[in-house]
Structure 1
Amino acid sequence: MTIQATYTPGKTEEKSHYFLPFLSTFYEKIAEPFAWTAFRVAIGGMLMVEGYPKIMAPMAQVGFVENLGFHPGWLFSPMLAAMQFFGGIMIALGLFTRPIALANGVMLAITLWFHFAFPYGHAFLTDAGVAALKSGSPFFTPDGIKRLADGGIFFLEQVQTKAELASLFWTGGVFLFAAHGGGHWSMDKLLIKREF
């Protein structure tokens, strides 16, 4: 009888992709979950702040949503308010993160398109308005005169850029959570123990 030995190679340790491999546990267990959670709370919090005035006046957006082609406005205006405010709370908590983030992502993508398709305009004042401003009207503060000296062109460009960049940031942020979920420190993982 012969005994045959089989060689099984031992587990080879995976080479770390970090420059400082001793920090890998810190990165994976603390830094990444913390950063993911902080970003999720920031995105959800900003949606709550934007949605709060809409929750206080849920029918205020009727004309806006109908101009976008969403009829009836009496249905879509409160839905927009609820998606932003309550959806923001749920994203911040990481509860039902993927479906809520996807719904908000679609809404924010439409908002982003709206800001590009319908900019704020070229100026506040006509030439006659600029002339009245420069004549020393008591109706304008010194800061107002500075801001509107060009008719409001620079100010409106700033407002337009802010609207576009904020919508782009929020849209990208919620779609990130729609794709990847709420992360390690989300209600989905901590309470439900699973994600959608």
Structure 2
Amino acid sequence: MVRKNRLPKFPEDYLNDKAEEYDSSKWMERNQKRSTLYSLQYLIDEKLNDREDSGIEMSASSLILDLGCGSGFSSVILIENGFRVIGIDILEDMLSKAREKKRNFDDYKDLELILADINYLPIKPNSVYHILSISSYNFITYGMENFGEKVKLINDTAKYLHKILKNKGRIIIEFYPKDDKELKMFNKSFINNG
């Protein structure tokens, strides 16, 4: 589904006081957590495959990446659902909010935070069970004008995300493409590279 409203400006809407505003927004927290809960349903959807026979671990030791974790709203839901979480974000201001939560709450002991670009992850191949990204994946081509370069970056990223997944792991991405062309471009990157 293509988003009709204005997308946030990246990175301007997530820096300095805007990071505080984002983290303090009850609406944003509620929206991010609800989206995460909906997305988690795809990890256990029997129509996709039988989880018992899938060969993928679904226990408290399951490691999941939260790409574009921001201030940690999605990470909270993942932890509450028994996952060990690696939260990754490119913006230090947003990660600092997640670090504050980790320091202040014992529930965050299963959360590791890494400052990194989604396109260039410091994660070993075949090391994570699942990957989740809520409302951040559309920013991976930020600042790129050349269509060919965008397509290459999107394909390279999709290929690497597939590479770091364990066998039968899943990638769940919720994002807001600006139009149908962009949606098809992102979809095709995963179809062709994973």
TM-score (norm 1): 0.24
Larger-Rg structure: 1
Higher helix residue share: 1
TM-score normalised to the size of structure 2? 0.24
